[in-house]
Amino acid sequence: AGAGAALRRLPEVRAALRKLGVEHDVAETQAPGDAARLAVEAREDGVPLIAVMGGDGTLNEVVQAYVDADGNAVAGPELAVIPSGTGGDFKRTIGLGGGVDEAVARVRTGTPKAHDLGFLRLTGHDRKQVTKAFLNITSFGIGGVTDMLVNDAPKWLGGKASFFLGSARAMLRYRNQAVRVRVDGAIFVEQPVFNVAMANGRFFGGGMMIAPDADPSDGQFDVVALGDLTKVEALSLSSKIYEGTHVATPKVKHARGKIVEARPVRSSQKVRIDMDGETPGRLPLTAKVVPRALSVITRG
């Protein structure tokens, strides 16, 4: 995670855990998919808590172990976060800074709180159906293009700079795409959009507060659509998104619901998906809330 940032911080984290008397083992990922496999093994071994060192992408891999192929919750260890990756948006929703001491102290004294997960059926890059879980936010539109560019960029820039540069590059190449989105069966938008986010958490894109009222424990998505914005309108809106004041702006729509269905108006359009900072595929997709699927350590 974070171009090796997690590994570099590991000695500091282990020292902090020992200081607090926390017994622990370290399991390192070596390849994509390892984090989910390790979470499954931890469950099978009766491990009570997994502390994830990494960013949103590592967290996303881990939570794959908490949902089965049909979108049903699978019980597993409690989850704590020790931020160390390129993206760190979910930590903001749970009120966690970037310091090791704060994160480790929360492992020792924090309180577990039930959190929802999202479950997706989407179209993979090979056009086959894919199922995925997500913890924070899934979006489509410019978000999918941005993630593609961020993931291809050097990670030494850091999270905020990487997302800023990726967003600027995506702005140059993205053209609003016409989509049809239903929330709990009702038409939400049917028009060209800049981006649509299905939010369990509140932040994405390196600190943008896309869904200021989202609660990852309320059993619903907050769905936020940035409509047919011009590039000038999108740029002027960006500062409001960081502040979370954009929801009342013209061309921005908001809804809440448990099931979201989205597809391109024209089947020839390739609308990319952003899922917790990863790019698993494109529309069409169906998303549903998996209530109280895992326990996340929050402030004590």
pLDDT higher than 90, residue 124: yes
What does the alpha-carbon distance between residue 142 and residue 271 come to, in Å, rounded to a whole number?
9
pLDDT category of residue 8 using cuts at 50, 70 and 90: confident
53-95 pLDDT, tens digit each: 888 889 999 999 999 999 999 999 999 998 776 668 999 998 8
Q: Assess whether pLDDT exceeds 60 at residue 2.
A: no
Mean of the per-residue pLDDT values for the chain?
89
Would you say residue 135 has pLDDT above 80? Answer: yes
> Based on the number of CB atoms within 10 Å of its own CB, is 232 exposed (0-12), middle (13-18) or buried (19 or more)?
exposed
Q: Please state, in angstroms and as integers, the Cα–Cα distance from residue 214 to each residue in 159, 209, 246, 260, following that order.
A: 22, 10, 14, 15
> Residue 109: is its pLDDT beyond 60?
yes
Specify the DSSP element, H or E, that contains 152. Answer: helix 142-152
Say whether pLDDT at 260 is over 60.
Answer: yes
| Residue 164's pLDDT band (cuts 50, 70, 90) | low
- pLDDT, position 1: 54
Q: pLDDT at position 294, please?
A: 96
Residue 245's CB: how many other CB atoms inside 10 A? 13
Q: Over the stretch 249-258, which tens digit does the pLDDT of each residue have?
A: 999 999 999 9
Contact 62/35 with Cβ under 8 angstroms? Answer: yes
For 176-230, the pLDDT digits (tens) are: 999 999 999 999 999 999 999 999 999 998 889 999 999 999 999 999 999 999 9
User: How large a percentage of the chain has pLDDT more than 70?
Assistant: 90
Per-residue model confidence (pLDDT) at position 160: 57
Residues 6+ apart with CB under 8 A from 235: 171
